[in-house]
A and B are shown apart, each in its own frame.
Chain A
Amino acid sequence: MNALTLWFHKIGSPPMFYRIAGRLAPWCFGAGLLLGLTGLYGGLVRAPPDYQQGDAFRIIFIHVPCAWMGLFAYFFMAANAFIALVWRIKLSEVLAMASAPVGAAFTFITLVTGSLWGKPMWGTWWTWDARLTSELVLLFIYLGIMGLYNAIEDRRQAARAAGFLALVGVVNIPIVHFSVNWWNTLHQGSTVRLLGPSKIDAAMLWPLLLMALATHLWFFGSLLARTRVGLLELDGGKEWVRAIALADGARNHG
């Protein structure tokens, strides 16, 4: 076994990952909070008001990063579910199931902020256009995955079944992403592009990208924290969990 595979197997073992995640998670949360506050300052205070929407456009700094994260979390979950189903890696099962509630939360925030933004701009809280409907379906798929995961007694079988459902639900991801291009809808097209120039002023772009980075960091912090709990639950009877529990008990009593 060469050094890389060895390293990979070491990282993938629950006790090792538990320790690494415990060390990384606070940094993710801290950096996410710092970048988020900077991004919000840039977005809410420094960025100029929009020529058409005035100050109401500023909700974009929450809405768009959360929307990206809703999709990113799904992609991350599906990739891990695939790894878990094909190679039976225990850690991937836990990672996939840990990212479902976080992704669902981001999707929910997207829907709520979008609704709040829609009221002054479109004059309605909700409209059945393609982007909104597909985003709602995305939330329902997240909830279905979580429901299936919680309904099955055996944790590993539950993770595999829910992961399979996540893979089936992947069909929805391109629909959400391309809905504004495929259908002529009320929701505006994409403004920020990875390839080619963005249709947004630099003064508004940097806070937006900073917020996107912050939400990514927060996602990974939250994911790592959830994965630690998931690993403890899954390996409840194992020696390393016992050692942690004993050390914890000694600290609390001593």
Chain B
Amino acid sequence: MTPGSTSAACAALIRRDLTLVWRRRGDALNPILFALIVVALFPLALGPEPENLRRIAAGVVFVAILLAGLLALDTLFRGDYEDGSLEQLVLSPHPLSLLLACKIAVHWLTTALPLIVIAPLLGELLHLADPVRWVLVLALLLATPLLSLLGAVCVALTVGMHRSGMLLALLVLPLYVPVLIFGAGACNAAQATLPYLAPLLWLGAALVLALVLAPLACAAALRISLS
């Protein structure tokens, strides 16, 4: 890789973001703990009958992971905005959308992937049926990058604000609704032993579309809020 080229800049950005996460690896555990606690609240509220829990298990795990991802979204640009490196990113000669795509990818790797890894455990807490488990993991593998990409666009719009948590939820959650419907829909179809491929394919199509468009939209949004 020649120094100064776009690919070198992307590699450097990925290495830097990963290093930053590694230096504060305690924080990286927070989304996992959050999802665990949220899932643990349901048996306490609804009673421990396995039959009841099994029926809602996939949906609850999906929502818990979605909410954990929502809370983690704020960290996507927060640190970079505060120390000014986000502005340097915008000013750099390399395509901003590509750099942001790298940032989003690292963010997904460090916040969403651990959540997917513990998803079977979360399902086990709620007595999730065996065949549904892998459908859930597959649906999450397709849905969480989509959530990260959609969320990144909204975070870019609120990046300059001080208390943006509630507002961010208000902006992001309506856009998350279709992803939730298809993702949880696949799990529910698998639970009822119906064909579940169609919603997964929809998710995949949406993911491909978002992979192309969301970094561009994110870059445009960031330029608006930093202008």
Which of the segments B18-26, B107-115, B168-176 contacts the partner chain?
Answer: B168-176
Asked if residues A137 and B227 are in contact (CB atoms below 8 Å), the reply is no
Report the count of interface residues on B (CB-CB < 8 A). 22
* Stretch touching chain A among B50-58, B128-136, B153-161, B193-201: B153-161
User: Which residues of B sit under 8 angstroms from A164, Cβ to Cβ?
Assistant: 157, 217, 220-221, 224
Asked if B161 contacts A151 (CB within 8 A), the reply is yes
A188 to chain B minimum Cβ distance, whole angstroms, is: 21
B173 to chain A: which residues have CB within 8 Å? 140
Contact of A161 among B170, B174, B225 (CB under 8 A): B225
Complex interface: chain A residues within 8 A of B161 (CB): 151-152
Instruction: Report B-chain residues with C-beta under 8 Å of the C-beta of A151.
Output: 158, 161, 164, 167
**Chain A interface residue number, banded:** 20 to 34
CB of A144 within 8 A of CB of B171, answer yes
Query: A168 and B224: CB pair below 8 A?
Result: no
Q: Is A169 an interface residue when CB atoms closer than 8 A count as contact?
A: yes
Most chain B CB neighbours (cut-off 10 Å) among A165, A169, A171, A175? A165
Q: In the bound complex, do residue A168 and residue B164 qualify as a contact, i.e. CB atoms below 8 Å apart?
A: no
Q: Check A168/B225 contact, CB under 8 A, given A140-B170, A147-B167, A148-B167.
A: no
In the assembled complex, the Cα of A220 lies from the Cα of B144 at a distance in Å of 41
Asked whether A165 lies within 8 Å of B154 as measured between CB atoms, the reply is yes
B175 x A169 contact (CB < 8 A): yes
* In the bound complex, CA of A85 to CA of B227 (Å): 13
Residue of B nearest to A140 (CB): B174
User: Are B177 and A148 closer than 8 Å at their CB atoms?
Assistant: no
List B residues at the A interface (Cβ < 8 Å). 153-154, 157-158, 160-161, 164, 167, 170-171, 173-175, 177-178, 181, 217, 220-221, 224-225, 227
Q: List 10 A-B contacts (CB under 8 A).
A: A85-B224, A144-B167, A147-B167, A147-B171, A151-B164, A164-B220, A164-B221, A165-B171, A168-B217, A171-B175
